[in-house]
């Protein structure tokens, strides 16, 4: 889990890159940017906001031969080793970014390269390097008093509530390619930032497998359980799946299927679905892994537990007590009305 509350900007350098294919120039500052306390606060909010709002999907640096040949990995390793060289390293990183900026869709923009102290990752304090880029410019109004009148001036600038591109590289797990978080708000050039410039691949740890396996289960419930049975069973299947993950420290697939799959006929369907869809979630060959509690909690919050009926009535299931949905909710068919119905048992209505 990431905590940026006490993080400070140790140093920051600002540069600008254009689109190389359009012969737009690159501008490299001669010296680091001098931060005031007010500016430091604004920039931290600008840089960190998307990482607080976004699910923590970690990456690592990669190269087909060896991670040492990944240019960004090599440069950030140099900066971590000798922070006094941060500005010189920032120039090299910006030049490397410029070399990748050769597709017509890539926009010019400002590049911010920062060295952070007091980052807390998984309850351990470390330092980190941030590489950020602002691209989209927005019109804003500025007011100016001139003698007896108030004038409106139209200016252009960036929206500090929306970072266009950014990554935070944590000074941990160097041998595996560091731990990296990345955001990209503009999807028209997705490969340019994540692959061409940074050279990142997903970090396949317990968080990755827990999150992806639950996503896979959610799609299995929608594509197989729902058509084979009904909406109630789809919701109950995901209830049982999430609760299995929540009460276990390690995942073992055969145990999972025996506990969660109440209809044994669906087990072969599950295995076939995994062969077909598993590669999409990088779990096709995965049947054992440690469970990440945070990923389970995040998945639980996103699971839909509502049966939406075409008569404008909703039935909401409780993920904490899934047995209630099985014991006290029955589905049937009314011959006279030619309609399905749900019969719900209860002792008394609870006050909200």
Per-residue pLDDT of 115-144, as tens digits, reads 999 999 988 999 999 999 999 888 889 999
Query: Can you give the pLDDT at residue 348?
Result: 80
Strand boundaries in the chain, DSSP class E? 2-3, 8-17, 26-28, 58-61, 109-121, 124-134, 138-146, 149-157, 165-170, 179-184, 200-202, 250-252, 288-290, 306-308, 314-316, 329-334, 339-344
| pLDDT at residue 172, rounded to an integer | 95
pLDDT of residue 48: 95
Residues 180, 33, single domain; the answer is yes
- Co-location of 195 and 244 in the same domain: no
Q: Which of 79-88, 232-241, 315-324 has the lowest mean pLDDT?
A: 315-324
322 has a pLDDT exceeding 60: no
- CA–CA dist 225, 230 (Å, integer): 7
Instruction: Count Cβ atoms below 10 Å from residue 197 Cβ, excluding itself.
Output: 22
Give residue-wise pLDDT tens across range 252-281. Answer: 999 999 999 988 889 999 999 999 999 999
Is 143 a domain residue? no
31 and 168 co-located in one domain: yes
User: Is 106:123 a contact under the CB 8 Å cutoff?
Assistant: no
Claim to verify: residue 226 and residue 300 sit in the same structural domain: yes
Mean pLDDT confidence for 302-322:
72
Residue 98 lies in a domain: yes
Q: Dig out the tokens for 36 from the structure.
A: 């005031």
Q: Could you tell me the two tokens for 198?
A: 């940074």
**Whole-model pTM above 0.85?**
no
Burial pattern 87-111, b for ≥16 Cβ within 10 A else e, equals bebbbbbbebbbebbeeeebbbbeb
Per-residue pLDDT reduced to its tens digit, 55-109 = 778 999 999 999 999 999 999 999 999 999 999 999 999 999 999 998 888 999 9
Same domain, 183 and 43: yes
- Asked whether residue 63 falls in the same domain as residue 124, the answer is yes
Cα–Cα distance between 55 and 284 in angstroms, integer?
A: 23
Number of structural domains in the chain: 2
Instruction: Work out the mean pLDDT of the chain and round it to a whole number.
Output: 89
List % helix, strand, coil for the chain (3-state, nearest 5). 40, 30, 30
Structural domain boundaries enclosing 31: 2-135+161-203
Residue 40 lies in a domain: yes
Residues 244, 177 share a domain: no
Task: State the residue for tokens 């012969």.
Answer: 23
At residue 229 the predicted structure's pLDDT band, cuts being 50, 70 and 90, is: confident
43 and 183 share a domain? yes
Quick check: is 149 in a domain?
A: no
Residue 324: pLDDT band with limits 50, 70, 90: low
> Residue holding tokens 């006929």?
265
Q: Does some domain include residue 315?
A: yes
Last residue of a domain, one of 173, 203, 233: 203
Same domain, 115 and 128: yes
User: Smallest Cα–Cα separation from 104: which of 174, 12, 9, 18?
Assistant: 18
Give residue 1's pLDDT.
79
Both 175 and 234 in one domain: the answer is: no
Indicate whether 144 belongs to any domain. Answer: no
Claim to verify: residue 220 and residue 339 sit in the same structural domain: yes
- Residues 217, 252: one domain? yes
Neighbour count for residue 61 (Cβ, 10 Å): 25
Q: Average pLDDT in the 150-175 region?
A: 92
Any domain includes 153: no
Asked if residue 93 belongs to a domain, the reply is yes
For residue 102, what are the β-bridge partners?
A: none
| pLDDT above 70 for 323 | no
CA distance 239 to 243: 6
Given this model, what pLDDT does residue 74 score?
Answer: 97
């Amino acid at each position: 889990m990431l905590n940026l509350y006490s993080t400070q900007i140790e140093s920051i350098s600002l540069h600008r890159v254009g689109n190389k294919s359009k012969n737009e120039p690159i501008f490299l500052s001669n010296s680091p940017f001098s931060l005031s306390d007010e500016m430091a606060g604004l920039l931290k909010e600008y840089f960190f906001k998307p990482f607080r709002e976004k699910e923590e999907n970690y990456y690592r640096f990669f190269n087909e031969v060896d991670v040492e040949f990944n240019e960004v990995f090599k440069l950030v390793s140099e900066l971590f080793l000798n922070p006094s060289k941060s500005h010189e390293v920032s120039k090299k990183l910006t030049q490397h970014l410029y070399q990748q900026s050769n597709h017509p869709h890539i926009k010019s923009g400002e590049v911010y390269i920062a060295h952070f102290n007091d980052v807390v990752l998984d309850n351990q304090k470390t330092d980190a390097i941030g590489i950020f880029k602002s691209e989209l410019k927005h019109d804003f109004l500025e007011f100016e008093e001139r003698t007896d009148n108030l004038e409106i001036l139209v200016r252009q600038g960036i929206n500090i509530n929306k970072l266009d591109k950014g990554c935070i590289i944590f000074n941990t797990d160097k041998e595996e390619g560091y731990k990296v978080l990345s955001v990209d708000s503009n999807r028209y050039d997705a490969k340019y930032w994540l692959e061409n410039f940074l050279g990142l691949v997903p970090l396949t740890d317990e968080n990755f497998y827990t999150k992806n396996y639950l996503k896979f289960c959610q799609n299995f419930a929608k594509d197989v359980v729902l058509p084979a049975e009904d909406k109630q069973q789809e919701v109950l299947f995901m209830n049982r799946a999430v609760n299995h993950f929540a009460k276990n420290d390690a995942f073992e697939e055969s145990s999972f299927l025996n506990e969660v799959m109440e209809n044994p006929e669906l087990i072969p369907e599950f295995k076939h679905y995994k062969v077909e869809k598993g590669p999409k979630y990088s779990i096709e060959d995965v049947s054992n892994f440690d469970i990440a509690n945070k990923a389970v909690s995040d998945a639980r919050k996103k699971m839909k537990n509502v049966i939406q009926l075409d008569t404008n009535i909703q039935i909401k299931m409780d993920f904490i007590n899934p047995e209630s949905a099985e014991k006290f909710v029955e589905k049937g068919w009314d011959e006279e009305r030619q309609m399905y119905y749900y019969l719900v048992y209860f002792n008394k209505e609870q006050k909200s």
